[in-house]
Chain A
Amino acid sequence: MPVLARLVEEAGIPTVVVTMMPDTAAKYELPRILGVPFPFGHAFGAPNDIEMQREVSEAAIGLLTDESAGKVRKDLEHLEWPQDDRTAYKDWQPSEPSPIVGYNANRRDKLEEKNKDQ
């Protein structure tokens, strides 16, 4: 998505990226980054928490009107996710590991087996 944001910017349309990984977005030299302290899949907050979703939405609109010359990054670190970290960490993940996770584990096993044989 950072790649797409750059393409859109280059085409003359300003962007805001709302992300739980602002450090990664910053590596792409994006001009407007809004960092959110939420688990993956929930860039605008918790389900049915209208107040939280509004605050993120308003902050994103606010970055569009920021007249700073260079890059702008704002982190909404004060927003609190309604679950403890351990529960939130488990809850955002799929019920089955994604295919790439299985693929990488398989490759790791094969490599370890190969090293053992040598």
Chain B
Amino acid sequence: MPIDSYRYLPRSFREGFEAFPIQETEPVKADLEVPITDAKIALMTSSGLYLEGQEPFDTETELENPLWGDPTYREIPKTTTQEEISAAHLHLNTRDYYVDFNVALPLDRFAELESEKRFGSLADINYSFMGYQQAGTPDWRNNQGPELIVKLKEQGVHALILAPA
């Protein structure tokens, strides 16, 4: 049975999501070009995770302009430990990320599965952004998206697993 996509969504948001006009009508599908045991996989989260020492996502500007969301992203190495993780996101409670960031970016689980040879390898660099991009989608489509694709290809990534927050 399909899960209820609106189970945890505030009721006032539901109508907007259901009625939201989507421009995309053509399916798109790339194939995995290597056996899964050779595949390098990268992870991406929109949970607002960043590393201590990196610039936090800009919540100050969003507080001044609620229609704006920080469109930048952060690079998260596969070796990141819990102590290095911080989070900035005004649309979520980030408390659990300080307990176990694997709930949003499961680097530890993928490292275990890599060592068990369930797939080739986890990319050295994985990615995080802050998922509130209401007005920033064109920016992502034209700038950050293409830039990210170049980085994925430079890393030799064969597949990307994305987890919206």
Contacts and interface: CB of A to CB of B under 8 A. Distances in A.
A77 B47 CA distance: 22
B134 interface: yes
Nearest to A62: B36
Given A21-B5, A41-B96, A57-B113, A7 B31 contact: no
A50 B108 CA distance: 9
A3 B99 contact: no
B49 to A, nearest CB: 10
How many A residues touch the partner, as a band?
A: 35 or more
A8 interface: yes
Given A13-B152, A19-B163, A29 B96 contact: no
Interface in B106-156: 106, 109-110, 112-113, 118-119, 131-132, 134, 137, 140-141, 145-146, 148-149, 152-153
Interface of A: 1-25, 27-31, 35-48, 50, 53-54, 56-58, 60-61, 64-65, 70-71, 73, 75-77, 85, 88-89, 91-96, 98-100, 102-103
A93 B92 CA distance: 5
B93 A53 contact: no
A7 B45 CA distance: 16
B25 interface: yes
A98 B134 CA distance: 13
B8 A92 contact: yes
Given A15-B159, A41-B103, A35 B5 contact: yes
B31 to A, nearest CB: 6
